Every structure is written in C-alpha cells, then in structure tokens.
Structure 1
Amino acid sequence: MPTVAQIEQALFQLAPKDLAFDWDNVGHLEGSPDQEVQRVLVALDVTENVVSEAEKLGCQLIVSHHPLMNVRWHQAEMQTLRPDRYLGRLLRRLVKADISVISMHTNLDIAPGGVNDALAEALRIEDPGPMPGDETGLCRVGRLRNPVKLSDFAGEVCKALHANGVRYAGDRPVEYIAVGGGACGDEIDAVIAAGCDTFVTSDLTYHQFLDAAPKGINLIDAGHFPTEDPVCAKIVAYLEKEFPQLIIIKSTSHKEVIQYFVEGE
C-alpha cells in the first residue's frame, strides 16, 4: 500500500508546493511519512467531526484543503499542546488515533484543475481561464452562454453550490464572470480591471457590497464552504486515479455551518 509520503508527492503533482503563498503551510502536517495508507478521507477542513468520521471509517489519512496548522491563524494555539484548547485537543486526537493529515491550500487554489477551476465548472462558466492581470493566479474568468439577470444568476449559484443562501449586490446583467473560491475580496479591483461584470467569491464586507454598483461590478458572496467544497470531489477523483488500490471517501460530516434567516420565508 502507498505511504503518506507517496500520497503527498502525488498531490504536489496536482498542486505544486511552490504555488503556495509564502505564509501558507501545505503538505504533510501530521503523522508519520512512512505510514501505510488503505483509506483516505477528503474534507475541506480538519474538524473534530471529521476526525470522528475518519476514526469510524478506519482511515489512516485525512486530506484537507485548509491547513490543520498555520501560524497566520493559530499562532497562539501552536505554543502549546493542551487538551483544553481546541487545536491541542484536535492534534492529540489525531496522534492517538494514528491518523495523518495532508493539506493542500493556496497551491490548490491556484493550480489548474484546483479550487477555482472546480468552482467555475460547478457554475457552468464557459472557457474558464486565468484572469488577465491577476498576479496571484487565484481567480478564473469566463462567460455564460447567454446574459442573465443578476437575481436569476444568484439563485443558480445558490443551487449549484448547495449553499444555504447567497448575498449579492449590483445592477448589471451577468455575462463575463470572475470566480475566486474562499476569501478573495482583495481581488475586486483586479476583477473590474479585467472587464468582468460579476465576481463570485465569499467573505465580503459591507463596504465592498456598498461600493459594488458605483464601481460597476456585481458581487455574489456564496460562502466560504460552498465556493471551495467542489474541489473535494476533484481530489477524490485524482487520488482514485493515482492510487486505485485505495479507498477514497469524501466527508459527509463536514458541511456549511452558516445558516440564514429571511423574514417572511
């Protein structure tokens, strides 16, 4: 059976390590590189529910998108390994269960066939490609076959991504679209410069929505989880092709946690 190290190298063929942002933490983050693997669980995040699912399914490895540990997010928590703190408790559970973790993050955002190509495919955007002038390489742009109203497209985005709801602002017909899975609000000006009329991403602020119409851009915030989760199925398919002897499972315990209440519904 393949080892964790061999699976990590295969994943770096899909999403090369040198594509990751310099602050990021990608690759094999926990467990022994020599551990033999029979079952793999793929999930967007490593949560306590995901660890429980991996234990129940008898998985030796979790492959996640978001890093298990990252000093940008977990600087204080990474100073200890205490069971009364969330990260410490999670790490101790993984060690005790002998479950390894590999995380592919910003390198998978940028890589061909990664997060943003999976998002563009889910939204049926035609001929998606890198966004002109995008130095990060994150976003993808493409067109709809026919222009549609923003409200109609927002509904289609919600349905296609199985989101609990979407937030949107703007007043233009939708035709030339940029997508950026996860928190890509910093790319709005680059999206406008590329001539797009609509940007689908997540984690947008009030002021970004407020400025959307004056700047001539439609914004759709479809949620962090819904815009990135489509890549998990791509990882499953890739690993099944590379390691047909393995059992690869997409997590069913990890779902969108944000709920919406809309008055009158």
Structure 2
Amino acid sequence: MPTVREIEQALYAVAPREGAMEWDNVGHLLGDPEQEVRRVLVALDITQVVAEEALERDCQLIVSHHPVMNCKWLPVQTVRSDTPQGRLLLTLLRGNVSAICMHTNLDVAVGGVNDALARTLELADAEPLCEDGLGRVGQLPEPLALADFARFVCQRLGCNGVRWADAGRPVSRVAVGGGACGDLVDAAVAAGCDTFVTADLSYHQFLDAEGKGINLIDAGHFPTEDPVCKWLMICLTRAYPDLEVVKSTSHKEVIHYYVEGEK
C-alpha cells in the first residue's frame, strides 16, 4: 500500500505545489510521512466531526481542500485539548491519522476546484477566467432566465439556498469561482459574462452588480467547492487502484436560510 509521502506526491502531480499562493499552507501537514495507507477519507474541511469520522471508518489519512492549519488565519501557538484547534490536532495525532491539504494549488489546477464547479453547472467550453488560473468561464447549452438558473444552481450544488442580484440579463455566458472569489467580479465583466457564480459576496458587491451589468449568484462556500472532492477521489483511485477512497458523510453545509412561512 502507498505511504502518505507517496500519496502527497501523486496529488502534487495533478495540483502542483507551485500553484499555491505564497501565504498558503499545503501538502502533508500532519502525521507520519512513511505511514502506509489503506483507506483515505476525502473532505472539504478537516473538522472535529470529520476527524472522528476518519477514526470510526478506520482511515489512516484525510485529504482535504482547506488546510487543517493555516498560520495566516490562526497561528498554532499551543496544542491543548481545551481549545478547538488543539482538540482537533490531538484527535488526529492520537489516532495516527495523517492530513494532506491541497488548497490554492487545487483552485488553479486543471480539473480542480473551478473545473469541478464548471462541470457541475454543465458549462461548455470552460476556460480560465484569470491568467493565474483562477475561475472559469463557459456557456450554458441554452439561455435561461436568472430565476431559473438560480434554481438550477441550487439543485446542482445541493445548496440550502442562494443569494442573487439581478442585472436584468438572461443567463448565457457564465463565470464561476469556487469559494470566496468576489474580487473576480470585474474580471467576469471584462470577459463578457452576464452572470457570475461564486461565494461569500458582500453587500456592496451585490449593490454594484446592476451598475456593472452582471448577475451575481452567491451559492455558498461549501457548495461551490465541495464538487472537487469527487475529482480528488478519482485522482487517488487512478494513482492507487487498490486504495480504498471514501467521501465524508459527516461534513455538510452548515448555513441554513429561514424562509417566511416555513415551520
């Protein structure tokens, strides 16, 4: 069976480390590089629930998109059981569960986060939105009204709901950006897109959408990035056919929307 180190290199073959942003923390972040792996759990994030799931399912490795440790956001100064981060790290270490995280390098990789999102939304002829590989631009098979497309996005991504702003244009040429890609709105406009699907958009970005002539759909961080997990599973099984690769069933969208009239 492959070691953690070998699996890391197989993942770098499809999402090269050089693609990661300078501040990012990617690769094998936790555990023994020489540990043999029989079963891998794939999840968008490594949460406490995901760590416990890995132990329950006898997984030696978790492969995730978001880093289990990233000192840009949360410096690791202590590893204590009475803090959420410390409790998570101790759970993994005591259970001999390693962690490999492919973050911004997976965002720009061919086939990665943004290609997975474009495929899920059935965009044809998808190509990079930006020179650095972020985002994708593609065409719908046929134009849709924005309300119908928003419903389609919600269904395809399994969203609990979406937020959207209507610039008064039918949907045909669509840009996508998995995760928080609100800073790519102007790039989507410059690429001639009538609609941009991403996550974590601000009030002012929605407010400015009509003036910029682009429909905006915020489909949520988890829903827009989770499709890449399926692609990661395919990459792992292609590299190691005897490796058992399973997707987390415990990690789901945590944001819910209240609709007036619902009980």
Give me the TM-score of the superposition, normalised by structure 2. 0.98
Cα distance between partner residues in 2 of 1:130 and 1:151: 26
Alignment of 1:61-140 (within 5 A): 61-75=61-75, 78-131=76-129, 134-140=130-136
Which one-letter code corresponds to 1:39 in the other structure?
A: R
Contact 2:52–2:91 (8 Å) recurs in 1: no
Secondary structure of the structure 1 residue equivalent to 2:69: coil
Cα distance between partner residues in 2 of 1:233 and 1:145: 23
Cα distance between partner residues in 1 of 2:141 and 2:225: 23
| Equivalence for 1:141 | 137
Q: Which runs of 4+ in 1 moved over 3 A?
A: none
Cα distance between partner residues in 2 of 1:166 and 1:72: 29
Identity %: 62
User: What's the C-alpha RMSD, in Å, of the aligned pairs?
Assistant: 0.7
Which one-letter code corresponds to 1:138 in the other structure?
A: L
Cα distance between partner residues in 1 of 2:252 and 2:221: 11
| Equivalence for 1:12 | 12
TM superposition shift of 1:135: 3.4
Tell me if 1:261 matches 2:253: no
TM superposition shift of 1:83: 1.1
Residue of structure 1 aligned with 2:249, choices 234, 252, 259: 252
Contact 2:66–2:103 (8 Å) recurs in 1: yes
Which segments of 5 or more consecutive residues in structure 2 lack a partner in the other structure? Answer: none
Which segments of 5 or more consecutive residues in structure 1 lack a partner in the other structure? Answer: none
Alignment of 1:109-258 (within 5 A): 109-131=107-129, 134-170=130-166, 171-258=168-255
Cα distance between partner residues in 2 of 1:146 and 1:60: 45
Q: Could you tell which deviates more after superposition, 178-187 or 81-90?
A: 81-90
Cα distance between partner residues in 2 of 1:174 and 1:72: 37
Cα distance between partner residues in 2 of 1:255 and 1:136: 29
CA deviation vs aligned residue, 1:175-215 (integer Å, no higher than 9, x gap): 00000000000111111111111000000011110111111
| Equivalence for 1:30 | 30
Cα distance between partner residues in 1 of 2:179 and 2:115: 13
Which one-letter code corresponds to 2:3 in the other structure?
A: T
Which one-letter code corresponds to 2:135 in the other structure?
A: C
Cα distance between partner residues in 2 of 1:136 and 1:217: 22
TM superposition shift of 1:258: 0.3
Cα distance between partner residues in 2 of 1:245 and 1:144: 38
Cα distance between partner residues in 2 of 1:153 and 1:145: 12
TM superposition shift of 1:148: 0.8
Cα distance between partner residues in 1 of 2:13 and 2:133: 17
TM superposition shift of 1:146: 1.1
Contact 2:194–2:213 (8 Å) recurs in 1: yes
TM superposition shift of 1:264: 2.8
CA deviation vs aligned residue, 1:202-232 (integer Å, no higher than 9, x gap): 0001111011111101000000000000000
Cα distance between partner residues in 1 of 2:180 and 2:145: 24
Cα distance between partner residues in 2 of 1:151 and 1:112: 30
Secondary structure of the structure 2 residue equivalent to 1:238: helix
